[in-house]
Every structure is written in structure tokens, then in C-alpha cells.
A and B are shown apart, each in its own frame.
Chain A
Amino acid sequence: MIAPARNAPVSAGRGRFTLFFSAGRPSVAWARLAEMAAAAQASGSNVRYDDDSPFTTPHRPLQPVLTGPSRGNRVMVVRSLSTDVAGDGRSPTLPMWEHIAVALGAGTDVYAPLDVTQLASRRDAVFAIIGRVPEDAVPDSMLMLADQILFVDERPSVDPAAPLPEIWPRSFDHGADHYVALRSLALRCLEAVRPEPEPDITPEPPPTAPPPAATSVLAVIGSSDDSDKIVKAAARLAAQLNAHWQAIYIQPPNASYLSPGERDAVQRALALAEKLGARAATVPCLNIAEAVAQYALNNNSRHVVIGVHSGKPWERWPQHLAEMIPALELVMVPIASRRWALTRDSQRLMGHITGYALALGGSAAITALGLATYPHIANVNIAMLYALLVLMLARHFGRLAAGWGSLISSVTFYFCFVPTYQTSTVGDVQYVVTIVALLIIALATGNPTAALRDQAREAVDREERTRSLYELARALSGVLVTEQVAKITEHTLYSAFRLHTRLLCPDEHNQLQVVSNETTPMTIDHAFAQTLFDDSEKQVFALTRYHDNLLYLTLRASMRTRGVLVLQPQPTDEPELFGRERHFEACASLIAIALERIHYAEIAQKAVLRIESERLRNSLLTALSHDLRTPLTALIGLAEGLRMEQGRDKLERAVVEINEEVERLNRLVDNLLDMARLQSGSVKLKAEWQSIEEIVGGALYSLRYSLSNHDISTDVPVSLPLLRCDAALIERVIANLIENATKYVPHGGKIRIVATQRNDALEVGVEDDGPGVTRDQERVIFEKFSRGSVESPIPGVGLGLAICRSIIEAHGGRLWLESSSGGGARFVFSLPLDESSPPMDLTSIESDVADNRAPQTQQPSVTSPASSYTQPPTQPSLQERS
């Protein structure tokens, strides 16, 4: 098929340069060129072949062409652009491609074949694919010069005997071997010179292909030492195409059998890929071609770089891949063949040896059984036993052991049980059927059962991984502290994979610090982690590295890298860690998201706090300027008055007023200090068993002078239980509430303090018969610096109620406002009662003290009634009070 890869308009007077571009198939290109030349000749053009004669020297040979009968009808057919055209005395020997421009300028059309193997810039790639290159190269500028490029994209099935100019060595006409790779190379060359974005090169894109938005390059690496070459080739290609690229390791189901050396090679290659800017991943699979195809489709990769083992010609997956997605461009990099099974993990070898040994032992046992019971068990049944043995071997040790088993079985069966007893001629053909059947069983069941076993194990494994991810996601969703993240990570990964983890998070100087406080010893290379972290900050994605048997994963979140997660496998489980990097990366991104969420939650909280404290500061300043100045002004006035006053009465009154103002100032300062202490969290509750009656009494006593104008009554039953609280603080609450009431109740008004037990809480209410509180005021009354009315003669900055609420809430209680029955306000607070709270029933405690101590009471200070404290306080007693 010929696809016009380029078709530029020709400027007047200039010849048209048509390139027949091929991919390792010069014979095909030449065939097409010859066809077109013949067609041109048939239509009357003057077609000349470059080796015809006149072209032996650069000046003369062009003559006949240039003087051809009519412009535009002269066609020069070039057999090879790289052939040297010998010069005469005046001009040096130059390759043919140097003459093309002259010919075109003279108005001659030029037809020339060009193979991708000839291109100068692709020599490395060609060498990598086919192992040799033509001696002479043609510069890439020829592709640019061509007005028309016809890509002769034909499968190698066309007639291989097509005529080829003798200057083309046959050896460069490649068959099917490297066609796929050379073709994609050729297509990339064309893409590089193609002016239009998307010419129709491919016959038809596969319907499943994603829209070609941004294509990417995919490097598929293996466990060979040479995997670096694949990575480097992919990096170069990606740079040329200016595309993203990925490097994947396709992990076969039995990856745990990789030797440490092979694992290192894979890790090295993946690390190199990341360093070169790729996204590296490990993809578990059963079928390599399918896995690569799926990954390429998912990532919109049009270029796939793969390694080709020269030592493994039977590896057919690249072909399968090419058939699956014809649009894929495969770049093949030759790599050294893998080392052989004996160098691999001893585990695998042991498996084989055990299989062989069992095959030997099993068949010996069956033979012995058969011989012992010789006449009683039919030969057919003995054969069945052999078949059973082979099946078991196939199931547990794979095809090789089963084959070995079937061979031994066949031989022993033949020599021991076939009727021509102890002869070596196969007398009875029907036993051949038995032997063949045994072999078929071995071969047919060997691999499927082994694969099924692997698949089942893989499925269980995957299920476990998925579950651990779910668990991690769920556990992390509600976390609020970084330490919790560390704990959850450790717990989840340990229970799922027996992995120890360390979480490293950056401090404010971007230095990583260990967050987890687990006791398991783990020597983390902090410098390495720090470097990884710094690297990750510059990248857009997470990094995963092995270092000293530890796996380091950066926690990359949307805004920045949030830290580094270090995984330490149990020493025996180390191979299990390998190949699960993708899973751990998923875990890492969950952790990163959780950390980022915590980070922003903290920021948001800080912002709210800042705004709040700013607001508070402003209202504090406003309130203080009013409330501090009022008593100070009064004090100054009164003091000056004192200086002038003479009368004894007036003097006394002034002194009393000064005292009141000072008291007011003092309370204000007290409240401010209390608020500051409560806000800063420096107040520690000194919780002790307290009687509410005593606290109410203390509060009333402390206010005894300012309560003289009001009618105070209390209703505090003596039977109320003790409660655990800080007496000084609760006394302050009650005093504040009472004082608050006195501010709003007119002289002579009633204030009532009522304490009751309600379920498991103690309620204390301070009610008055004042004007009450309106709905609007109710809402803001507990806010700091809010008062009943903004400018009022009633002193106070509105701190009292805010302090009360802080104190009550610190005790786990509640403070609220109700309307009292008399229409006034009723402030109520409730404090939780402990279940173990001792009752106020005195008799229960002293009963036995009284009995035991009565004779000793002459020396009270010496007695030690310690025994009375061991008495349960709830024990009832009927003595003493009667």
C-alpha cells in the first residue's frame, strides 16, 4: 500500500521530488517506484535512470535531462540516494543526494527510493534493531526536501523477488523479523517531517483506541541487566516527541521467584526512569501482551519501547501486541538474554527437585504395590494409579515434574506390567496408548493447574491489598492529628502485610521528622529520605525507592509533598514487598491526602482563631476604654472633692463612694484576669468533693456588702450529694451570677438561689424578679463583652457571664438562661454528678467512728480514725442520731 505521507504544492519552474519511503523493504519501494516511472514514461515523460550514462560526472551528465523535450515532463529516476557519483578533475566525488537540488532547480522531477535504514539520524536505532547499518547514510534533510513522500507500507508478504537495483545489498531487504520495529521507526521519521498534525497513515485506527489527545511513550522493562537501555531509548524518544512517558515492569504471576539480582535490575531501571522524568509502575499480569496493550490504551501511549532478547527468539509477545493494537509503534531495543533458571531463586529449584523426587518415589511405590499384588489387580488399574500420580505431580509441581513423572511411570509400567514380561520389545500396541495417555495428562494438566494455582493466590493477594486500602481510607477519613495518621498506617499495613512503617513529616524548616513513636527499631537513612523528599517537591508525582532493604515512598498530595513513608518488611517477607509498590503508592497517596486535609484544617482553624482574637481585641479595647475610665473618673473627682470638703458627713460619704468605685475596679480587673487565664488554658481544675451548700455560702459571704440592698433567699437542700468540682471557680460562677442579678434588679428586689438534683446532674439556678432578658439579648448575652445595653450606667464589660460559661463548660456542665416564674431572668447551670458521689447522709459515716472513738475523745488530735475511711460512704446506719 502506498500512503502519501507528504504532498506539498510545487513552486513554478521547479521540479517535483518524490520520495518512495520504505521501512526495511527497499525492494518493495523500488517496485512501486519502477511502476510509477513506467507509468510516467507511458504518459510521454522523458524518464531517465541515473545510471544510464550521462550521470557519471556532475556537470555533463545532467545535460541531456535539462535539455529534455518539455519542462515538467522530464523525470529522473534515482536508484539510490547514497550512491557516490564520481567527480571529474574539477569536482569532487559526491553522493547522489547532493545533486538532487540542482536537478530540481532545473525543473526535473526526481523519483528516489529511501529506506529508513539509510537515514543518518536513525542509524543508532536501526543498529539496535537489526544489528547492522548500511555503509552510507542519507541526511534527514532529504525528507524535508521531498515534495511528496509516498510511504510504501506493505507487509513483507509481497513478492520478494521484485527487481532491486544492484546497489542495494539484498541483506538490507528485511523480512518479517524486524518489520514491525522498522515500520514504527519509519513512521516516527515521517511524523517528524509531517507538517499536518494527523495525516492518515494508518489504515484504520482501532475503535477501542482513546482519542489521541496527548500521546505518551511507554517503556516496558524486564528483569534483564540491560533494562537501562530500554529506559534510555524511551527517554530519548519522549524528548523527541515532547511527550510524557511511563516505564512499567510487567510482573508475571511468579514474580516472587525473581532472584535478588533480577529484582535489583528492575528497581534500578524503574528508578532511572523516574529520574529521567517517567512515571514508573509495576503491573501484575498473566499475559504480557494483554497487560502492555491495556496499559498503553489506558495511558494513550502510541509508542511502546520494548526490549528484544536475541537469545529468546520464541518470545512472541511483541507480535501479539502489534496485532492487538496495529496503531502502536513498537521500538525494539536489543538486550542481552536473561540468565538462566539455575541462577534464580533456590526456592524454585527446590520446588523442582522435590517434584522430581516425588515422581520417582511415587512411581516406585505404585510399582511395588502392583508387583506385590500382581495377579489380583488388573494392569489397567495400575495404569490408572500412574495416571493419578501424574495428575497430582502436575497439580503441585507443574508441567516439568509431571512430564518427568509420566516418563518414569511409562517406563516402569512397560517393563514391569506389560505381559511380555521382562522383555524390551513393545509387543502389545495397546499399552502404547496407556503411555501416550499418561504423557498427555502430564502436559495438558501441568500448566493450567499451575497457572490456576498462581491465579488463585494472586486473587487472594489482590483481595487482601484492596481490603487494606479500603480500611486505610476509612480509618484515615476521620483523622485530625498527624500522630493518628502514623498510628493508623502502622496498624493497617502491619495487619495486612506485616510491615513496619515510619512516617516522616517536614517541620517548619522543611526538615523531615519522625512522627510515629513505635517502638520497633528501624534504622532510617534520614539523609536519603530528605533528598527524596526534596526531589519529590520538584516533581509532580510521588517517588518510590528502595534503599537498604527499606521502601521509601514520598507522600505527594495535590499542593506539595507532605512527607515520606518508610516501609520495613519482615526479613523473611522481603520478596513479597517487591511488586506491590503500586499498592503502597496508593496507600501513600491516601496518607498524603489525609495529611493535606489535616494541614488545611489547621490553617483554617488558625485563621478563624486569628479573626476571632482580632475581633475580641477590638471589642476589649472599646469596652475597657469605657469601663476603666468610668470608675477612674469617679475616683479622681471624689479625691479632689475630699480635698475641698469640710463637713464630716460629706467626707464620710465621699470615702464610701471611693471605696465602692475601687471595689468595682477591682472586680473588673479580677474578671479580666480570670478571662485571660481561662482563655490561655492555664487554669487547671482542682476538682475535689464539694458541697454546693458550702459554695453558695462562700459566694454569698464574699458579696455580703453589696447584697445589703437586695432580698436574698436560698433553697439549697442539705440532702444534695457532693459533687466533684473546683470550689473556687464554681463559687466565682455563683458570685458572678448573683452580682449580675443585682445589677439589673432594682433595690429591694428579690434574688433567689435554688439548687436541685435532676437525674444525674446538679442544677443551680439564680433567679430574680427584674426586667428579664429579651430574645435578642439572650442570643449574645454569653458572648464576651456583650452587655444588656451598649451604653448603660450599669458597670461591667460583660465578661462575667462569659467567664461563667467557660468555667461551667470546663467542668462538663451547661449554663443557660430561662425566664423565671416571676418574669425576671433565671440563669441556671448544671454540673454532672458522679455516680460514686458520696451522699450527704452524715450518720452513715460517723456511726462507727462514734462507737469506736467515744472512749478516746479526750485526746482528739492523737486519734487516727483511718478505719472510718475504708467504710463505704453509702452504708446506712440507724445509730447516732436517735
Chain B
Amino acid sequence: MTRDNASIILIEDEPRIRQFVKSALEAEGFTVFEADTVHRGLTYSGQRKPDLVILDLGLPDRDGADFIREFRQWSSAPIVVLSARTLEEDKIRALDLGADDYLTKPFGTGELLARVRAALRRHRPSNEGQPLLSFGDVVVDFAQRAVTRAGEPVHLTPIEFRLLTYLCNHAGLVVTHKQVLQEVWGPTSSENTHYLRIYMAHLRQKLEQNASRPQHLLTEAGIGYRFVQ
């Protein structure tokens, strides 16, 4: 994956944070444009056509959610949201509006870079057409719809397989309960989260070393799930 020329718009009103995020991203070879308001962010986005947006939800002029709503009308570039820890509802709203991932302040640069990479990868899927995905001792063959663990075939039900596929397609990114339910079960089923719990538990039983200490199928409490390779 080439990311040297990937451009990122960073919308954040706190100069200190802007500074350290920018230097971390530039050290990785990204081109970074800064904005400190929603208004400026939208203007720059229109001009620069960024590959990714990093957006703080608490901005002085308008709600960060407004940015997502407007930006999504004409661009599908990934958005990574920054927010304070206590506002779970805001995060879910931002994700459901079309943000791709979130980071809770305070965060480290390592975490930030991992999310940015995951978001870019998801946006330019390089593993499409690659029918095999492996994590831990598990190998998933999407073409054959077969899963093996340490070489042994693992039987997944159709829904379990759909769930796994959806999570793998968003590797490294958070997916909300609502998104999973809508994608895997259909648009009418966004309220029945307990089915999701049961399927996730079962998926972990089948694929994780220790289901109560998962390493790949992670829980984002109160928000959703995250698959990491």
C-alpha cells in the first residue's frame, strides 16, 4: 500500500494536539492540512480532496457531527473522530452518521497511526480479491466459505460467517452494534442486540484462544466491536 502521498485534513481547535498529531502523521509520510473550525474544515476538504479526515467532535463554531453529515454528501473518504471519553452517545452518533473510527482523548500516537492506517486500508481495500485472511491460527477462505483453525476445519453457521466477513472487511475499525445488525441481519433488526451478543460469544468460542480474553474479536463497550488481525 502506498501512503506517501495520502493527504489528511486535521480539524482540531487545540493547537498543542494539532501540533503533535501533525508531526506524528508527517513522520509517517502523510501530507497534513490543519483546520480549527468546522467551517474551515469543510472549505479545505472541498479544495484538497483529502484521503482521510481526522475530526475533533468539540469544535468552537459548530458540532463535529455537522461536518460528517455535510462531508458525507460528496465524499466517502474515511473519517476518524477524536472525542472525550465520557460521551459514548456522541461517538455512536458520529459513527452512525458515517465516521469510520474514533479515538478517545487522551490517545497515544501509536494508536492514532494504527487507526489511520486501518481506515485508509479499508477505503482502498488491498485485500479485495485476496480470498484468504488469517489471524492467530485461524485462516478464513472467503471464496470457499471455509474457516480453519490450526488446520482443523471450523464449522460456522451462515450468520456467524456473515458476521465474521463483515468484521474482517472492517479490520482495525470499530463497527457499531447498529451497523453490524443492519449489515448482517437486515435493515429491520437494529434493536435486537442480544442476538448479536450471542453470535459474537459463539464466534469467540470457535475462533479465540480464550473467549473471555479475546485478542481479535474485541468489544468496544457500549459502542460495538472491533476486529484486529
Contact = CB atoms under 8 A, between A and B. Distances in A.
Q: Is A bound to B?
A: yes
Interface of A: 659, 662, 666, 670, 673-674, 677, 686, 688-691, 693-698, 700-701, 712, 714, 716, 718, 722, 726-728, 731-732, 753, 838, 840, 842, 845-846, 849-850, 853-854, 857, 860-866, 868-869, 873, 880
B159 A727 contact: no
Contacts of B165: 860
Contacts of B222: 686, 726-728
A697 B214 CA distance: 6
A880 B185 CA distance: 19
B219 interface: yes
Nearest to B199: A842
B186 A865 contact: yes
Contacts of A691: 197-198, 200-201
A673 to B, nearest CB: 6
Interface string B180-205: 00011111110011110111111011
A842 B202 CA distance: 7
Given A694-B200, A728-B221, 19 more contacts: A659-B108, A662-B106, A686-B88, A686-B222, A690-B197, A694-B201, A694-B204, A700-B212, A701-B219, A722-B197, A728-B88, A840-B198, A849-B158, A850-B157, A860-B165, A861-B162, A865-B186, A866-B186, A866-B188
B211 A697 contact: yes
Nearest to B145: A857
B212 A854 contact: no
A614 B43 CA distance: 51
Interface of B: 85-86, 88, 106, 108, 145, 157-162, 165-166, 183-189, 192-195, 197-202, 204-205, 210-214, 218-222
B212 A714 contact: yes
A698 B159 contact: no
B197 A854 contact: no
Contacts of A718: 201, 205, 211
Contacts of B86: 673-674, 677
A842 B185 CA distance: 16
A728 B222 CA distance: 5
Given A718-B211, A866-B186, A694 B219 contact: yes
A339 B197 CA distance: 87
A673 B86 CA distance: 8
Contacts of A753: 212
Nearest to A857: B158
B206 to A, nearest CB: 10
B85, B145, B157, B212, most chain A CB atoms within 10 A? B212
B36 to A, nearest CB: 24
A722 B194 contact: yes
A130 to B, nearest CB: 90
Contact of A842 (B161, B187, B198, B219): B198
Nearest to B208: A697
A865 B157 CA distance: 14
A600 to B, nearest CB: 38
A846 B159 contact: yes
B27 to A, nearest CB: 16
A864 B187 contact: yes
A846 B184 CA distance: 13
B213 A722 contact: no
Given A666-B106, A701-B213, A689 B159 contact: no
27 contacts: A666-B106, A686-B88, A689-B193, A693-B204, A694-B197, A694-B219, A695-B219, A697-B204, A697-B218, A698-B219, A698-B221, A727-B219, A727-B221, A727-B222, A728-B222, A842-B199, A845-B195, A846-B199, A850-B159, A854-B158, A857-B145, A860-B162, A864-B188, A866-B185, A866-B189, A869-B195, A880-B157
B201 A714 contact: no
A722 B212 contact: no
B88, B145, B201, B214, most chain A CB atoms within 10 A? B201
Contact of B198 (A674, A677, A845, A880): A845
A473 B213 CA distance: 60
B198 to A, nearest CB: 6
B63 to A, nearest CB: 20
A717 to B, nearest CB: 10
A838 B198 contact: yes
Nearest to B163: A860
B159, B186, B202, most chain A CB atoms within 10 A? B159
Pairs of residues from A and B, 10 with the lowest C-beta to C-beta distance, nearest first: A689-B194, A864-B186, A728-B222, A860-B162, A698-B219, A731-B221, A714-B212, A728-B221, A857-B158, A716-B212
B221 A850 contact: no
A727 B157 CA distance: 26
Given A688-B194, A698-B219, A722-B194, A869 B189 contact: yes
A732 B221 CA distance: 9
A361 to B, nearest CB: 78
Contacts of B199: 842, 846
B219 A869 contact: no
Contacts of A688: 193-194
B212 A693 contact: yes
Contacts of B108: 659
A861 B201 contact: no
A800 to B, nearest CB: 16
A690 B220 CA distance: 12
Contacts of B189: 864-866, 869
Nearest to B193: A688
A868 B162 CA distance: 15
A679 B64 CA distance: 29
A69 B161 CA distance: 146
Contacts of A861: 162, 183-184
Contacts of A686: 88, 222
A690 B196 CA distance: 9
Contact of B158 (A850, A864, A873): A850
Given A677-B86, A686-B222, A693 B162 contact: no
Given A701-B213, A861-B183, A864-B186, A693 B201 contact: yes
B218 A698 contact: yes
B214 A701 contact: yes
A261 to B, nearest CB: 69
Contacts of A697: 204, 211-214, 218-219
Contact of B159 (A700, A732, A849, A864): A849
B72 to A, nearest CB: 19
B200 to A, nearest CB: 6
A731 B88 CA distance: 14
Nearest to B88: A728
A303 B144 CA distance: 112
B196 to A, nearest CB: 9
A849 B221 CA distance: 28
Nearest to B92: A686
A546 to B, nearest CB: 56
Nearest to B158: A857
A662 B218 CA distance: 25
Given A662-B106, A731-B221, A865-B185, A853 B159 contact: yes
Contacts of A659: 108
Contacts of A673: 85-86
A575 to B, nearest CB: 60
A868 B189 CA distance: 10
Nearest to B192: A869
B186 A670 contact: no
A719 to B, nearest CB: 10
A701 B193 contact: no
Contacts of B212: 693, 696-697, 700, 714, 716, 753
A862 B184 CA distance: 8
Contacts of A700: 212-213
A218 B192 CA distance: 77
Nearest to A700: B213
A310 to B, nearest CB: 86
A845 B189 CA distance: 15
Nearest to B228: A701
Contacts of B219: 694-695, 697-698, 701, 727, 731
